[in-house]
Structure 1
Amino acid sequence: MQPLSHLESFVRSAEALSFSAAARQLGLTPAAVSKNVARLEAALGVRLFQRSTRKLTLTEGGERLFREIGGALGTLADAVAGLAQDGGAPAGILKVSMGLAFGRAYVLPHLAEFLARYPAVQPDWHFDNRQVDLIGEGFDAGIGGGIELTQGLVARELARIHIVATAAPSFLAGKRQPRHPADLAGLDGIVRRSSPTGRVRSWTLRNRAAEEGAVETRPRLVFSDPEAMRDAAVMGLGVALLPMAFALPALESGALVRLLPGWYADNGPISLHYPSKKLLPAKTRVFVDFLVERLREQDFARRMLGN
């Protein structure tokens, strides 16, 4: 029987295809993880990884071993962790990734209550508008939209994010109120450039009657950040098509006005992602349940709809 530390170093390295990422999860140095894997290879007489200066890949033997023990080892580790936590409160560092504006507006306000309830949990929250590798980078959870679900992750949908047309009252002064997306043509637009592709985003809005209409404003400003788009719209600089998560505070305060009520584009779900383990660490489980409950109490999912 191989030492559990050797097997766990192999499995974590195979999940992330990185000794460094495995080391961060296990609290070891990359050299220690590499040495554990090398000792396992020596004991088995099989090379498990092809190593190069740029990447780590599994050999055929490594893939077979990973398929056979990966899930079982995860279940064993979780069972031990769960048993250890049965007699005490959730504890430990809670590493979560979330978008900058979304995290500040919809997650951070609940932090004081979460800490009061779970004082032994230490949040390590990363506010960053990028898709992280949850398993490879050692995150306990992530919050975001447009995230590709990779193997080993599950998602709890928090809401559908609808895109709506907005503008400041000062911008609309003296202008005819649009009744159809085509009526936005010729108006100054604050448009978004997609960071991954570099292309300017275009939108087709629809309503409950299943009618559709393309939005073709005259690009006046091009931004890569929806929060900056909202702020520019509040300044009266043009029409902005915004996710409801960013538009809602300004709509509620009156700083922005909703154009074309009932027309929207569905930009997909915003979800809470975490590793798919039968027994989640207590710190992750309570965070997931806590945030889902708080957003449900605020009717968050309905408020994100633009229809």
Structure 2
Amino acid sequence: MEKHYCVFVLYLFYSTISAKDESFIMKANTKENILNQEEGYSFPYPVYPEECTSLLNTIAQYASNFTFCSIKNAKPITLCRNCVENYSNLSKIYNELMTKVVNETTCGSLLISQDRFDVVLEYYDRITDIWNKGHCNDCFDFTNETANLSNNTIRFNKMAEDTMNCITSTYNLTNNTEEVCVRCMQSYISLDIFYKSLSKDSIGVDTICMDIVDSMNTTRSVWSKSLNCCKLRKTPEIIFLCCTGIISLLPLLFYVAVKYCGPIRDLPNVLKESRFKQSILRSVQGRIN
């Protein structure tokens, strides 16, 4: 009898555990089915539309291409001219990602600004900052979303190339820096004047395409430091400095002349005493008396 009772108790215990396990499994399956039914999600990770992920992969490739190109052309700076295609492609595909509609939802709303990391937006903003910091758009004329070098950029590049060719050819021919300065002076001055005319404000360098700025800085460095052609300006500078020194000494000379050479020194002592001093002396004497 006791054996039958023990078997019965064990059977009830096993049945209870089995029922709980089946209930837990059913609840888990129900929860998974509910998650699977939600649009764009599958348990346990979200699944995004293929159209959006394809655009995201393309953005990653274009961002990588621009990064490689910008670092490669960092010195000398030719980033704007050589990386404009990569930047244009990235901008187009990013705008497409932001406006692409899938299942009545844009890809941008699914992939951008969904977390504090926001990797896609951060990388795009940094690339845009690099492009804008160099004023690269000023190098081009944009027609039908196609970037072409502007007339000013083409003209400057031609003048800079002619100036450097003049310097190189003259130096190789004469091996004399002074001769280079004389022969290429007009070419360099014309280049410098045209460069200054590209400025949109009084500052200048902050509104000119960085490719042009770097090219002009390189030319100026060769002209002034390597060739020492700016020594022709020393004579006017010396005259200016001498005149400035003389003008600065005039006030000092004036006061020295007044003190030692003026007519006040020859006046009698009676006239030199001031009324203020006399009034003080009288008041003191009156108190003593």
Work out whether the TM-score is over 0.5: no
Which protein, 1 or 2, shows the higher relative CO under an 8 Å CA cutoff with sep ≥ 6?
Answer: 1
Higher strand content, 1 or 2: 1
Provide the TM-score with structure 2 as the length reference. 0.22
Higher helix content, 1 or 2: 2
**Larger Rg belongs to:** 2
Provide the TM-score with structure 1 as the length reference. 0.21
